[in-house]
Structure 1
Amino acid sequence: MQLDLLVTAERILTLEADADGQPRVATRMGLMGDRIVGFDADLDGLEARRTEEFPGRTIVPGFIDAHCHTTWWGLGLNGAPVGEARGLDEFYEVLRAEVAKLGDDEDAWVYGIGFSESHHGGLVPDLATVDEITGTRPMYIRNASGHSALANTATLRRIGAFEPGFQDPEGGVVVRDASGAFTGLVEETAQELLQSLILPYPIEQIVAALDAATLKYAEQGITSFTEAGIGGGWIGHSPVEMAAYQAAREQGKLHARAQLMPAMDAVVPLTGNDRDFAGSGSAAGLSLGIRTGFGDEQLSLGPVKVFTDGSLLGGTAAVTESFCGHDHNVGYLLSSPEELREQIRCVYRAGWAIAAHAIGDAAIDLALDVIEECQNEYGTIHAASGERIPSRIEHFGITRQDQVERAGRLGVAVAPQYGFIHTFGELMVSRVGEGRRDLLYRGRSLRDAGVIVAGSSDSPVVDNNVRRAMQAAVDRRGSDGSVIGSREGLSREEALRLYTEWAAEATGQLSNRGTLAVGKLADFVVLDSSPLEAEDLGALEVLATFVGGAATFDARTS
């Protein structure tokens, strides 16, 4: 037998246990095709067509970002760089530069992603100043959270906000100030009014966005990701968004393995023999009865994404205690509990796992209730391979201990974003108050309760630098240096497993990825040193990224 590829390094952290139950560390790894066939002594006497040598370096399993927004980020890479501005004066200068770049085309959109009030002392831009800069051009600036956006007066006119009888849509607000004047801020589902002027994006534009974004993923060591919402609502970009992913794959422009979550808005009622669906009641999903687990190792369908509440920083997450400084603001659910319950039950019955966006503890209560109902009535969801695909709660932002323990009992996976802690942790504390500091984006207590925890970025809400997020999971330090959740820190090995083994389990893909083992996909990352020994995980360098044994990034040739 001849190997297709022999990879050598100072250490290969497989994250698999050896015969003695200890973590297996190798120095050689053999590949045939896109799979691993052996390590060290397994390979003695075998020749290889090709060799990759990384002396003094450490190899780990490929990183998995279990919740991100790839198309959204990719589209924004060529937009106005509003996320780089610090202070409103800089923001206005970015807008002026973008308007100048657009030239004389009065219909061209002023578009950008990454605006955050935290970069501007908690302020939003003055609408009159924005109007002076942008004129009659439409403007759509997406907040880093994804739960709000900035528009100018020209755009507000296009959505009919100034028409008599205009009403906010359910679950969203076109914000007015105390005098009743529009501020330019558009929250939650009201963003669909803006997007209706732009959507759908053409497939070729989405393909270009996926190409740009996944090349950047490779630089971060990301070999797999879960796209958290396609095809509908304010989170999707086209009703045929999955076709864009297929086209990107066919054209060699999808540089990481993708699991796609259809947005709840994209599902339709299903009909068929009643015995085709679990239990009783209505069913909903994608046409032809396609369900969670459809696809292959490169491109597959995951759970259906459903929004239950809003954002923590925006004060729209549904919580049981008021936000700090707002005696009567407990956020809100984006639909009634009855409507959310019926939506979730319909898709679960049709064979879809659920990924419920739930940040506040009130929303998490509802999500846990409905998931438990569905599991009890309809059973668990499995992929075609037979591997269990758990239902998930995305973010799990502010949680009580009873919720943590319940999630463990139910076998629910959660996808928190520890990168939030480093980026705007102190701002989150200011929203919920010091008394709830230790309830934010928990770590240690989740693992102790047996919860499946998946590492994720929610990019472009924060960057997709996995190493910095791993460090945040360990030290839990906010940008002001304070610790958020003093008892919630993970070990370095656990932080590595967040973005490898545990993320693979949460996405129902552990049989193929997440650790380096014989028979698994040869997805791996070369680091300059070991994450188990690094003082600062964020300082680790990605030297190369391989998907199925093929390099998607190689600093040696960059």
Structure 2
Amino acid sequence: MDEDNPTAESLAVKDGRFMAVGTRAEIDALRGAGTQVFDHRDAVITPGFIDAHTHPAGAGVRELKDVNVDVRSIAEIKDRMAARARETPPGEWIRGFKYDDTKLAEGRPLNRLDLDEAVPDHPAVVGHRGGHTSVYNSRAFALAEVTAETPDPPGGKFYREDGELTGLVAERANYIISRLIPGTHTDDDRQAGVKLITELMAQAGLTSFHDAGTSSSSVRAYSAAYRNGELSCRVYMMMRGAYEDLRQAGVSTGLGDEWLRVGGVKYGADGSASERTMRMSTPYVGRPDDYGILTMTREAIHDVVEVAHRSGWQVGIHANGDVTIGMVLDAYERVQELWPRPDPRHRIEHCSLVNPDLLARIKAVGAVPTPFYTYAHYHGNKWVEYGPEKMEWMFAHRSFLDYGIPVAPASDYTPGPYEPLMAIQSMVTRRDFEGRVWGPSQRITVPEAMRICTMGGAYASFEEDIKGSVTVGKLADFVVLAADPHDVDPDGIKEIPVVRTVAGGRVTWEG
């Protein structure tokens, strides 16, 4: 996918970079000490895939320590939570993760009474895979002294039905309860989680990712895994917890090397697309008074953007809804007018619901949107709450490209699957897992989707000169596929096996 050399038979790697790309005869002549030759005669080589917005450090340790409830019924969730409770001393927290409310056989969401039945003797929480809502049992609410009469905090919500708590808690209201959960994960746990999750991501063909909201403990975990040779993907760390100390020390975006680099600073300004809490100018279908949730005020957005921009940092703000995207653009336009910087590449994380005015402003200010790349396919059951009209402007890959906006690939894992081949299928077909098509006007071609998943990710981290294509001199990050995504039925792209993943000439996965 080097535009000057789009196809090749073989390639040579030296010192972790592409030394030559060409015919088998040309590359065979370069064999020698220190030179690796890769020639997959019956397979397809693509650049290494990049996920420009994901949360793997936290996901990795949860895979090791918490209860995975990525199942298809409330009964199964209850069984898994109850099984963990039986082996846990009474009073200790039981934590579930990767719950999806729209994929359950019972046709309804999990609630407080379900968890009370499954886990009567422990406080319990089940986190939605979207990361913005959780379901708690009665013991958890009692510990936090939250009742049906407790007022909703700014930027959060306790959901009620018939005057009683349902168990569902959204956004900043979560902190009132979750702050009581002891921090039991050690640095060794987190390092093991990083090792596991980067191995799994490499199996899917990922060679780099951007951790969107890196904590101090995650920095330690990535650093330890890197030192021990256990890091299977390159990491661009978008700071959260460690940001202020780094900024005060004079550190800014770009410090590090090709494996572990300080990225931008990450903030969150509204709710979730998959959990139907993002802030919009029009209400959700069937909920005429519900426009979603803002988690930052306009003033707070302006304040954090000004400080970071003037300190030399790239800024990435989670903004799903059109209202929130407009607020973020106001802040980006202001700082560029008052304190102009060449090419700051500030980002709009998710940038889910747009319109022509927002697209023109994104282009003018040079912002980089990171829309969800697997959502159209994976989360199809949720889009009825937005309706077909909004879906023509959500995850707007076609519109971004048509406006000449550099768009980055993003799974937001765990909220969305990180598999790049599913992402390519999703962007190309806009067809969900049950066969429905959402927002067909936003379909793009396979070559466009491939470029987003490679060069688009590299551009978002200022690394387009060193990664994102199979080009002489660039990092030798590439993937070997059993079939060419350009040639198969688009609805079968996600089924293509990943044969091998290579980062810097090192094989990180081989099937």
| TM-score bucket (shorter structure) | over 0.9
Tell me by how many angstroms 1:136 deviates: 2.6
Give distance in 1, aligned partners of 2:478 and 2:263. 22
**Does the 8 Å contact 1:312/1:431 carry over to 2?**
no
Matching residue's letter, 2:349: E
**Does the 8 Å contact 2:153/2:173 carry over to 1?**
yes
* Alignment correspondent of 2:7: 25
Correspondent of 2:140 among 152, 155, 162: 155
Matches within 5 A, 1:436-455: 436-455=390-409
Q: Secondary structure at the match of 2:42?
A: strand
TM-score with structure 1 setting the length: 0.85
Q: Secondary structure at the match of 1:522?
A: coil
Matching residue's letter, 1:191: N
**Does the 8 Å contact 1:99/1:134 carry over to 2?**
yes
* Alignment correspondent of 2:17: 35
Give distance in 1, aligned partners of 2:352 and 2:278. 9
Matching residue's letter, 1:152: N
Give distance in 2, aligned partners of 1:395 and 1:539. 26
Q: Which moved more, 1:239-248 or 1:167-176?
A: 167-176
**Does the 8 Å contact 2:31/2:37 carry over to 1?**
no
Tell me by how many angstroms 1:99 deviates: 2.2
Taking a change above 3 Å as real, the CA distance of residues 124 and 43 of structure 1, as seen in their structure-2 partners, is: closer
* Alignment correspondent of 2:160: 176
Give distance in 1, aligned partners of 2:385 and 2:115. 27
Matching residue's letter, 2:43: R
How many residues align? The count is 502
**Does the 8 Å contact 1:380/1:390 carry over to 2?**
no
Tell me by how many angstroms 1:349 deviates: 1.3
1:256 is the counterpart of 2:256: no
1:322 is the counterpart of 2:258: no
**Does the 8 Å contact 2:102/2:109 carry over to 1?**
no
Give distance in 2, aligned partners of 1:295 and 1:73. 23
Tell me by how many angstroms 1:364 deviates: 0.7
Matches within 5 A, 1:51-66: 51-66=37-52
Matching residue's letter, 2:7: V
Matches within 5 A, 1:365-404: 365-380=326-341, 388=343, 390-404=345-359
Tell me by how many angstroms 1:299 deviates: 0.5
Q: Secondary structure at the match of 2:67?
A: coil
Tell me by how many angstroms 1:174 deviates: 3.0
Correspondent of 2:109 among 111, 124, 132: 124
* Alignment correspondent of 1:92: 78
Matches within 5 A, 1:542-553: 542-553=498-509
**Does the 8 Å contact 1:476/1:485 carry over to 2?**
yes
Tell me by how many angstroms 1:108 deviates: 3.9
Give distance in 2, aligned partners of 1:313 and 1:45. 52
**Does the 8 Å contact 1:407/1:413 carry over to 2?**
yes
* Alignment correspondent of 1:408: 363
Taking a change above 3 Å as real, the CA distance of residues 424 and 240 of structure 1, as seen in their structure-2 partners, is: closer
Q: Secondary structure at the match of 1:17?
A: coil
Tell me by how many angstroms 1:266 deviates: 4.9
**Does the 8 Å contact 1:389/1:507 carry over to 2?**
no
Q: Secondary structure at the match of 1:514?
A: coil
**Does the 8 Å contact 2:254/2:263 carry over to 1?**
yes
Give distance in 1, aligned partners of 2:313 and 2:345. 10
Q: Which moved more, 1:103-112 or 1:545-554?
A: 103-112
Give distance in 2, aligned partners of 1:200 and 1:404. 44
* Structure 1: stretches of 5+ with no match in the other structure: 1-14, 232-238, 271-284, 382-387
Correspondent of 2:221 among 244, 247, 250: 244
Q: Secondary structure at the match of 2:61?
A: helix
**Does the 8 Å contact 1:228/1:261 carry over to 2?**
yes
1:186 is the counterpart of 2:169: yes
Tell me by how many angstroms 1:540 deviates: 1.4
Give distance in 2, aligned partners of 1:173 and 1:266. 28
Q: Secondary structure at the match of 1:74?
A: helix
Give distance in 2, aligned partners of 1:541 and 1:314. 31
CA RMSD in angstroms, aligned pairs only:
2.1
* Alignment correspondent of 2:196: 212
Percent identity over the alignment is: 27
**Does the 8 Å contact 1:28/1:40 carry over to 2?**
yes
Give distance in 2, aligned partners of 1:321 and 1:166. 28
Per-residue deviation, residues 126-176 of structure 1 (Å, max 9, x unmatched)? 32331132123222221011011122222222333259x955443122333
Tell me by how many angstroms 1:477 deviates: 0.9
Per-residue deviation, residues 317-361 of structure 1 (Å, max 9, x unmatched)? 110011111222111311221122112211221111111111110
Tell me by how many angstroms 1:289 deviates: 1.7
TM-score with structure 2 setting the length: 0.93
Q: Which moved more, 1:46-55 or 1:407-416?
A: 46-55
Matching residue's letter, 1:83: D
Give distance in 1, aligned partners of 2:452 and 2:118. 44
Give distance in 2, aligned partners of 1:335 and 1:389. 22
Correspondent of 2:318 among 320, 341, 357: 357
**Does the 8 Å contact 1:82/1:112 carry over to 2?**
yes
Give distance in 2, aligned partners of 1:460 and 1:176. 26
Give distance in 1, aligned partners of 2:344 and 2:497. 32
Give distance in 2, aligned partners of 1:122 and 1:405. 41
Q: Secondary structure at the match of 1:302?
A: strand
Taking a change above 3 Å as real, the CA distance of residues 337 and 419 of structure 1, as seen in their structure-2 partners, is: same
Matches within 5 A, 1:421-440: 421-428=376-383, 430-440=384-394
Q: Secondary structure at the match of 1:55?
A: coil
Per-residue deviation, residues 234-284 of structure 1 (Å, max 9, x unmatched)? xxxxx4431221112112222110011112x6543x8xxxxxxxxxxxxxx
Tell me by how many angstroms 1:434 deviates: 2.8
Q: Secondary structure at the match of 2:410?
A: coil
Give distance in 2, aligned partners of 1:315 and 1:491. 28
* Alignment correspondent of 1:310: 271
Give distance in 2, aligned partners of 1:160 and 1:489. 48
**Does the 8 Å contact 1:416/1:454 carry over to 2?**
yes
Give distance in 1, aligned partners of 2:38 and 2:323. 51
Q: Which moved more, 1:290-299 or 1:333-342?
A: 333-342
Q: Secondary structure at the match of 2:169?
A: strand
Matching residue's letter, 1:65: D
Per-residue deviation, residues 472-494 of structure 1 (Å, max 9, x unmatched)? 10011123322222221111111
Matching residue's letter, 1:178: D
Give distance in 2, aligned partners of 1:491 and 1:380. 34
Matches within 5 A, 1:450-469: 450-469=404-423
Give distance in 2, aligned partners of 1:67 and 1:396. 12
Correspondent of 1:529 among 483, 486, 506: 483
Taking a change above 3 Å as real, the CA distance of residues 459 and 519 of structure 1, as seen in their structure-2 partners, is: same
Taking a change above 3 Å as real, the CA distance of residues 43 and 481 of structure 1, as seen in their structure-2 partners, is: closer
Q: Which moved more, 1:183-192 or 1:38-47?
A: 38-47
